[in-house]
Amino acid sequence: MRKRSVLPGFGLTLGITVCYVSLVVLLPVSAMVARSTSGGLSGFWAAALSPRALASYRLTLTASLVAASVNAVFGLIVAWVLARYRFPLRRVADALVDLPFALPTAVAGIALTTLYAPTGWIGKPLAAIGIKVAYTPIGITVALTFIGLPFVVRTLQPVIGALDADVEEAAASLGARPWQTFLRVVAPAIIPAWLTGFTLAFARALGEYGSVVFIAGNMPMRTEIAPLLVMTRLEQYDYSGATAIAVLMLGASFVMLLAVNGLQSWSARRSA
């Protein structure tokens, strides 16, 4: 006879899970999809694929991809240093990584704009050599990099901390060079977490609004991101157009997340 658990069983927990996910995720998404198609499919595609919307998609996806890629590289370095080394002010550096989580995005946007404006502390010397950051796609990428760094670091840091350094030392004692040790010993263990951090940073960047709206300049067809275009459509009471753009972005993000999750599962099975 199977021993009865004192904890709630599968049926109860599954029912709670389905109800909670339906209320928090499925119902709002379903309402958004229904609102976006209220004008018919022709109206949906006209709003979602207008030249202005396509320009915003292109900028949003490109800037988010570049920012997530930068964070994937430098976030790995930061996570490695914080997990493997002990140095003065390490706790301060560790706390600073979480600053984008705690800082209101609007405040972050104002601070970045102040720094990178043509008269700012960083923007002024860059402008002197012909590099303009604020009110350009570069500024948007800088803002998205700022808000995405913690996702990569916090995903990789516990995984790197759990790695056994003895395995790396054994590889070195067998004649492996540092890059060989990283590629053949370290990388297989951290790739799933690395992809997760990259995906989280990318997904966060796709929907970012507050930290970008000030530094972007918000010029249609040039520096207007998709979330800003959604807000513009809402301010114009074009609810169908706003939800059409949002649904298309949501669909693209969902497909990307499914692809990355499949890649993570494949990597985990291969390394097992």
The secondary structure of 62-127 as a DSSP string is HHHHHHHHHHHHHHHHHHHHHHH---TTHHHHHHHHTHHHHS-HHHHHHHHHHHHSTTSTTHHHHH
Q: Which residue has the tokens 């040039």?
A: 222
Count the Cβ atoms, other than its own, within 10 Å of residue 225.
29
Core vs surface per residue 204-218: b (16+ CB within 10 A) or e? bbbbbbbbbbbbbbb
**Does some domain include residue 50?**
yes
Cα 19 → chain centroid: 27
Task: For tokens 């964070």, name the residue.
Answer: 71
Is pLDDT at 208 greater than 60 in this prediction? yes
Helix 187-206 × helix 239-271 angle, to 10°: 180
The answer to whether residue 71 is domain-embedded is yes
Q: What is the pTM of this model?
A: 0.85
Residue 99 placed within a domain: yes
Gap between the Cα atoms of 121 and 118, Å rounded: 9
- Angle CA 243–247–251, to nearest 5: 175
Q: Provide the domain limits for residue 90.
A: 40-271
Rg (Cα) of the chain, in Å, rounded?
22
Q: What is the CATH number of the domain that holds 171?
A: 1.10.3720.10
pLDDT, mean of residues 117-128: 90
Which tokens in the block code for residue 71?
């964070």
* pLDDT given at position 7: 59
Greatest mean pLDDT among 31-45, 186-200, 229-243: 229-243
Residues 263 and 137 in one domain: yes
Is residue 3 a part of any domain in this protein?
no
- Report the distance separating Cα 260 and Cα 252, nearest Å: 12
Residue 148: the pLDDT is 92
Encode pLDDT of 28-73 as tens digits.
888 888 888 887 888 889 888 999 999 999 999 999 999 999 999 9
Both tokens of 92, joined, read 């301060």
**Do residues 119 and 29 both lie within one domain?**
no
**Residue 251 pLDDT > 90:** no
Q: 135-149 pLDDT, tens per residue? A: 999 999 999 999 999
pLDDT in tens, 161-186: 888 777 777 777 777 777 777 777 78
Instruction: Provide the number of structural domains found in the chain.
Output: 2
- pLDDT 10s digits, 64-108: 999 999 999 999 999 999 988 888 888 999 999 998 888 888 888
**Do 32 and 124 fall within a single domain?**
no
Q: Are residues 81 and 14 in the same domain?
A: no
Q: Which of 123-127, 160-164, 170-174, 250-254 has the lowest mean pLDDT?
A: 170-174
Same domain for 153 and 30, yes or no, is: no
Residue 141: the pLDDT is 95
